[in-house]
Amino acid sequence: MTDSLSALERAAGTAAAAGRWDEAERLWRQVHALDRTHAQALLSLGVHAFQRGDAKEALELLGDARTHAPFNPMIPLTVSRVFRELGRPEQEWGAIIDALEIDAYFLPGLLARGEFLERQRRPRVAAAVFRDALKVAPAEPQWPAALRRRLEHARQFVNADNEALASFLADRVQATRASVESVVTDRWDEAVSILAGKSRPYHSECHQLHVPRLPAITFYDDSLFPWMGELESYTDAIKSELQDMLARRGDEFVPYIQYRPGDPVNQWDKLNHSRNWSGFHLYAHGRAVPEHLAQCPRTAEALSLVDTVTIPGLCPNAMFSALAPGAHIPPHTGETNARLVAHLPLVVPEKCSYRVGHDRRQWREGKCWVFDDTIEHEARNDSDQMRVILMFDIWNPLLSPAEREMAAELAGAMRDWRAVGDGV
Mean of the per-residue pLDDT values of the chain: 90
User: Which of 57-66, 102-111, 172-181, 260-269 holds the top average pLDDT?
Assistant: 102-111
pLDDT of residue 171: 86
Whole-angstrom distance, CA of residue 144 vs CA of residue 138: 9
Instruction: Look at residues 142, 159, 176 and tell me which one is the last residue of a structural domain.
Output: 159
Residues 275 and 348 in one domain: yes
Q: What average pLDDT score do residues 279-288 get?
A: 95
Residues 146 and 281 in one domain: no
Residues 80 and 229 in one domain: no
Whole-angstrom distance, CA of residue 45 vs CA of residue 64: 11
Q: What average pLDDT score do residues 287-315 get?
A: 95
Evaluate whether residue 187 is within a structural domain.
Answer: no
Residues 120 and 244 in one domain: no
Per-residue confidence band for 422, with pLDDT thresholds at 50, 70 and 90? very low
Instruction: Look at residues 144, 159, 174 and tell me which one is the last residue of a structural domain.
Output: 159
Residue span of the structural domain in which 330 resides: 222-419
Residues 20 and 95 in one domain: yes
Whole-angstrom distance, CA of residue 392 vs CA of residue 306: 9
Residues 153 and 241 in one domain: no
Q: What average pLDDT score do residues 251-271 get?
A: 78
**Domain total in the chain:** 2
Q: What average pLDDT score do residues 399-404 get?
A: 93
Residues 107 and 237 in one domain: no
Give how far the C-alpha of residue 345 lies from the chain's centroid of Cα atoms, to the nearest Å.
Answer: 27
Q: What would the pLDDT profile of 31-67 be if each residue is shown by its tens digit?
A: 777 778 888 878 888 788 888 888 888 888 888 889 9
Residues 288 and 144 in one domain: no
180 pLDDT above the threshold of 60: yes
pLDDT of residue 55: 86
Give me the CATH number covering residue 313.
2.60.120.330
CA neighbor of 299 nearest in space, from 222, 371, 228, 390: 390
pTM: predicted TM-score of the whole model, two decimal places: 0.76
Instruction: Look at residues 143, 159, 175 and tell me which one is the last residue of a structural domain.
Output: 159
Evaluate whether residue 233 is within a structural domain.
Answer: yes
Give how far the C-alpha of residue 208 lies from the chain's centroid of Cα atoms, to the nearest Å.
Answer: 21
Say what percent of the chain tops pLDDT 70: 96
- Of residues 423 and 368, more confidently modeled: 368
